[in-house]
Structure 1
Amino acid sequence: MLRKRGSVIFCGAFLFVTWNAILVLLLWGRPQPGQPGEAGPEQGAAVGSPSSDVVGDVLRMADTFEAELERQKEILLEIKNHQSLWEPSNRDNPKVAAPRQPVIPVLVIACNRVTVRRCVDKLLQLRPSADRFPIIVSQDCGHAETAQVIRSYGDKVTHLQQPDLSDIAVRPEHKKFKGYYKISRHYHWALNQVFRTLSHSSVVIVEDDLEVAPDFFEYFQAMLPLLKSEPSLWCVSAWNDNGRDGYVDPGRADLLYRTDFFPGLGWMLLKEAWEELEPKWPASFWDDWMRQPEQRRGRACVRPEVSRTLTFGRQGVSLGQFYDKYLRYIKLNTEFVPFTKLDLSYLKEETYRQNFEKEVYSAPVVTFEAVKQGQLTGPGPFRLQYSSKESFKMMAKNLGIMDDLKSGVPRAGYRGVVSFMSRGRRIYLAPPPGWSRYDPTWS
């Protein structure tokens, strides 16, 4: 509206000046007495006889023109002053001049669990803006009761239904894994809908059995500029694989890490990354495929100290794998952290790597027995060193953190280091100094 009013003012000013310029030219071109086309005596009497002092007439006409031009100048200055009222400057009205906030859709992957309501309810309760964080629920399986739950939200969510519900032919030995094939097909279709059909440039993906933290949206809003500007990052996750209560520092809910392990479970992806992944998207086990070196290509994800998602879905295609031992005890953050107001430049690759390695390898080395039996003295942090796949798995398992590796990368690990808390002290389970690369055979 302001732009339209400003345009009208400028058009009016242009027409005013143009008209007066034409008028001036016409007056200057008016024939003087004695020139061809001059009025006769009778006509001269009708319009007023000109003075015989031609020079005086010209000077008086020039004075008239000067006065008229001065009046036009005053009118134009008045128009300019009115324009400043219609279009406030950035300095005087920063609210009007504030840059437009990006739109970050949240894609909920659903199938046949009516408990999707718990996930969607929390998202709707916590999102700060419906325009900036549209919620898209993509449903597979054709489950009528789940579809009814999703439709009950009306226009608060966008309900997509994956059209291909056909069976998938798999090798006999993979018959029990058919669910993973259908999930991969669904992800492929749903992400294409978000990026290609709906033309979004980023997305946060959650599954229907996740509950989110109070600062879930704040976290991803703050992370988006970093993800876009850092080629060394390819995802942002809300999940800490070792984020069980007692294994994280609750007083450092603001602490974020780079990790070489793709965490999933509430994660952000850019359109550019999807265009890279989509042509080779796997038929099954998409999350483990994401963890392969060919996809990761040396890039990292960002993950929090304290998780911003919590899974409540024990039943699923994984048959509760890890749920009873680890996932059900993940600590969900309850403290709102204003991430958009924090300086996150410490997560840039070179800065982060140097600071992280300095802290890890300047920490005193301790024995596994000392950590296990709680015999550490001092505030920490401490370094616990492993030298082989077997020593890593033994120490991780006995200390209560996840001991599995994917393509040689430990869960939540960065450059081979896994950070966790033990009896209130920070422990870095780390390879020897001089670490250079992961060994894919460590799986």
Structure 2
Amino acid sequence: MIRKRSSLILCGTFLFITWNAILVLLLWSRPPPSQPGELAGDQGEAVVQPTSDVVADVLRMVDTFEVELERQKKILLQILSQRSLWEPSNRNRPKVVSRPPVIPILVIACNRVTVRRCLDKLLEHRPSAELHPIIVSQDCGHAETAEVIRSYGSKVTHLKQPDLSDIAVRPEHKKFQGYYKISRHYHWALNQVFKTLSYSSVVVVEDDLEVAPDFFEYFRAMHPLLKSDPSLWCASAWNDNGRDGYVDPGKADLLYRTDFFPGLGWMLLSELWEELEPKWPASFWDDWMRQPEQRRNRACIRPEISRTLTFGRQGVSLGQFYDKYLKYIKLNSEFVPFTKLDLSYLKEETYRVNFEKEVYSAPVVTYEDVKQGQLKGLGPFRLQYSSKDSFKVMAKHLGIMEDLKSGVPRAGYRGVVSFISKGRRIYLAPPPGWTQYDPTWS
């Protein structure tokens, strides 16, 4: 805008000078007045009239033209000296304020009327309806659940998955029909968010999740990390080993990188959906996400203390892990101002170096010492495993989740699982020099 205004000023100045030059020539061509020496022109200036001596007239004309040009030059300099007054200064120019990102919450629902508990907590803790629209995508066509969702009126957007038909599956997968429908629903719902509604990010929760008071604050802080770090592909509110007694209650602000896709309240960007959507699986979408072909050595961010809690024992998984692990997950109650914290320690190179240094400088202890609570000192301590079986045995007896997906332990980073046991920080870790996961460890 300033450059355009300067061009207009210079153009106007040029036209002004040109017009005055033409005026001089026109005055020379005018017939002489009745009284020689009479003043002529609108400004009362004396104009020299032509005579019969052509050479003398030309010379006098040149002199007059030079005088006029000098006068116009002075006018031009005055105009340029005042230009700064015509243009707004940088100090007074309005600052360009970037708008905060809109991060919608996508609630995947089916036939649980208890979706009300999920929605009530989301609405209770939501800091802004404009920045966090809530979209409920419902499958199954369950009338009672639909009525609960409708009761929220304009507070939520209610989408209905149109295809409720059964899916043709192999005979041995007939009992897994529900997993096929869930995968189809996720595909449709994420397409609605990214392609129909054109959002650039989303946080996905299911209808059996309750969120913590700083759930929204956490994901607002995660958004710039995902945007700036290509080694990250998601952020999750969930710690698979986040049971009470297995996390440090004084470390509510502690975050980790993890190679395991946690789900259960997770954020992704539209760029990731563009990558995943063409090859989205027909079933078991979460385990598919944990395969190396999808993960591509990228990590997720996860908290020490979970920002979601599942209350849905009944579902297609028939309560798998719920009674033993999930219902004991500790939900964070302390509000952490994540958007005001320095989270640069989560950048890939910085995090890896610092994490490995802490893990492998910790003293090695035995399983018996950990199990019996006979550790000396405050910790942390390192407990080493060397095979899939040794990992599973120690994890099972220490009370953390023992299953692996494509060789990656739950909540693990570079093979290391961090947890609290009897008040001490334990790193269940592979030997030094770890390089990669073994997908056969499943």
Give the TM-score, by structure 2 length. 0.87
Instruction: Give 1:243 deviation, angstroms.
Output: 0.2
Q: Which letter maps to 1:40?
A: P
Other-structure match for 1:434 = 433
Instruction: Give 1:39 deviation, angstroms.
Output: 2.7
Q: Does 1:77 align with 2:68?
A: no
Other-structure match for 2:22 = 29
Q: Which letter maps to 2:320?
A: Q
* SS of residue paired to 2:330: coil
Larger radius of gyration: 2
Instruction: Give 1:10 deviation, angstroms.
Output: 6.7
Q: Report % sequence identity.
A: 73
Instruction: Give 1:132 deviation, angstroms.
Output: 2.6
Q: Which letter maps to 2:93?
A: E
Q: Can you give the 5+ residue segments of structure 1 that lack an aligned partner in the other structure?
A: 1-5, 89-95
Instruction: Give 1:67 deviation, angstroms.
Output: 6.0
Q: Distance in 1 between matches of 2:240 and 2:395?
A: 13
Q: Distance in 2 between matches of 1:202 and 1:386?
A: 38
Q: Distance in 1 between matches of 2:278 and 2:25?
A: 83
Cα 1:47/1:284, change in 2 over 3 Å: same
Other-structure match for 2:149 = 150
Can you list the C-alpha shifts for 1:99-151, whole angstroms capped at 9, x where unaligned? Answer: 33222222111111222222222222323333332222111112222223323
Q: Distance in 1 between matches of 2:27 and 2:230?
A: 82
Other-structure match for 1:357 = 356
Worse-superposed segment, 230-239 or 38-47? 38-47
Other-structure match for 2:56 = none
Instruction: Give 1:280 deviation, angstroms.
Output: 1.9
5 Å matches for 1:156-171?
156-171=155-170
Other-structure match for 1:38 = 30
Q: Contact (CA 8 Å) 1:33, 1:50: kept in 2 or not? A: no
Q: Does 1:400 align with 2:399?
A: yes
Other-structure match for 2:57 = none
Other-structure match for 1:244 = 243
* SS of residue paired to 1:377: coil
Worse-superposed segment, 187-196 or 167-176? 167-176
Q: Distance in 1 between matches of 2:91 and 2:276?
A: 50
Cα 1:58/1:282, change in 2 over 3 Å: closer
Instruction: Give 1:19 deviation, angstroms.
Output: 4.7
Q: Distance in 2 between matches of 1:267 and 1:330?
A: 17
Q: Contact (CA 8 Å) 2:21, 2:65: kept in 1 or not? A: no
Q: Distance in 1 between matches of 2:113 and 2:230?
A: 39
Other-structure match for 1:93 = none
Cα 1:313/1:60, change in 2 over 3 Å: same
Q: Distance in 1 between matches of 2:412 and 2:277?
A: 26
How many residue pairs are counted as aligned between the two chains?
A: 427
Instruction: Give 1:433 deviation, angstroms.
Output: 2.4
Other-structure match for 2:198 = 199
Cα 1:51/1:240, change in 2 over 3 Å: same
Other-structure match for 2:376 = 377
Q: Contact (CA 8 Å) 2:212, 2:331: kept in 1 or not? A: yes
Instruction: Give 1:426 deviation, angstroms.
Output: 0.3
Can you list the C-alpha shifts for 1:382-407, whole angstroms capped at 9, x where unaligned? Answer: 11222232222222122111111222
Q: Distance in 1 between matches of 2:81 and 2:159?
A: 61
Q: Distance in 2 between matches of 1:117 and 1:43?
A: 102
Q: Does 1:87 align with 2:55?
A: no
Q: Distance in 2 between matches of 1:341 and 1:24?
A: 59
* SS of residue paired to 2:250: helix
Q: Distance in 2 between matches of 1:242 and 1:317?
A: 22
Q: Distance in 2 between matches of 1:188 and 1:400?
A: 35
Q: Contact (CA 8 Å) 1:260, 1:299: kept in 2 or not? A: yes
Cα 1:65/1:389, change in 2 over 3 Å: closer
Q: Distance in 2 between matches of 1:267 and 1:297?
A: 18
Instruction: Give 1:51 deviation, angstroms.
Output: 5.8
Q: Contact (CA 8 Å) 2:27, 2:47: kept in 1 or not? A: no
Q: Does 1:105 align with 2:104?
A: yes
Other-structure match for 2:126 = 127
* SS of residue paired to 2:420: strand
Instruction: Give 1:20 deviation, angstroms.
Output: 5.3
* SS of residue paired to 1:214: coil
* SS of residue paired to 2:20: helix
* SS of residue paired to 1:420: strand
Other-structure match for 1:340 = 339
Instruction: Give 1:327 deviation, angstroms.
Output: 0.9
Q: Distance in 1 between matches of 2:358 and 2:438?
A: 24
Cα 1:432/1:18, change in 2 over 3 Å: closer
Give the TM-score, by structure 1 length. 0.87
Other-structure match for 1:3 = none
Q: Which letter maps to 2:86?
A: I
Other-structure match for 1:424 = 423
Q: Distance in 1 between matches of 2:308 and 2:360?
A: 31
Instruction: Give 1:207 deviation, angstroms.
Output: 0.7
Q: Distance in 2 between matches of 1:261 and 1:272?
A: 20
Q: Distance in 2 between matches of 1:203 and 1:26?
A: 63
Can you list the C-alpha shifts for 1:53-101, whole angstroms capped at 9, x where unaligned? Answer: 9899768756764664455346533222x5657623xxxxxxx434332
Cα 1:86/1:378, change in 2 over 3 Å: closer
* SS of residue paired to 2:427: strand
Q: Contact (CA 8 Å) 2:24, 2:65: kept in 1 or not? A: no
Can you list the C-alpha shifts for 1:183-202, whole angstroms capped at 9, x where unaligned? Answer: 00000111111222222222
Worse-superposed segment, 233-242 or 173-182? 173-182
Q: Distance in 2 between matches of 1:106 and 1:274?
A: 15
Q: Distance in 1 between matches of 2:7 and 2:393?
A: 81
Other-structure match for 1:114 = 113
Can you list the C-alpha shifts for 1:322-371, whole angstroms capped at 9, x where unaligned? Answer: 11221111111122222222222222223222222222222122222221
Instruction: Give 1:265 deviation, angstroms.
Output: 0.3
Q: Which letter maps to 1:396?
A: A
Cα 1:17/1:152, change in 2 over 3 Å: farther
Worse-superposed segment, 135-144 or 260-269? 135-144
Instruction: Give 1:374 deviation, angstroms.
Output: 1.4
